[in-house]
Amino acid sequence: MVMIFQSEKARRFLLQNGVVFTFRVHRRLMTGEDWITDKRGGRKIGDVQVEEEGVFDPSDLSIYVAYSGFNSLEEWHEEIKQILNGHRLPSEGWLYKVSLEEK
């Protein structure tokens, strides 16, 4: 099951640093080995390992900001809202650690 990284900042951070924490509104059906792309139907960008960190209130993500690809919690919140088409920030969601597989 592919993991889509619409956020260019998070995707770039993953590709440059080998790991990123990503917030998702919906829980993934599976973790472990997977691959990433930038959009539905997009080409494969790389293989990854996905680990579920748990359910979080978005306001509790501050300790993960340094590994999110964003400069601040507020910037991360704005990206979440933009990906949700301008909707308000959800009250909770799932946090995942995504690690790039080495070739």
Confidence at 68, pLDDT banded by 50, 70, 90: very high
Q: How many helices (H) and strands (E) does the chain have?
A: 2, 5
pLDDT at 9: 97
Q: Is the pLDDT of residue 103 over 80?
A: no
pLDDT at 10: 97
Overall size of the chain counted in residues:
103
Topology of domain 3-100, CATH: 2.30.130
pLDDT in tens, 25-67: 999 999 999 999 999 999 999 999 999 999 999 999 999 999 9
pLDDT in tens, 15-24: 999 999 999 9
Give the CA radius of gyration of the chain: 13
**What's the whole-model pTM score?**
0.94
Q: Give the residue with greater pLDDT, 1 vs 68.
A: 68
Residues 43, 49: Cα–Cα separation, whole Å: 18
Burial of 5 (0-12, 13-18, 19+ CB in 10 A): buried
pLDDT at 17: 97
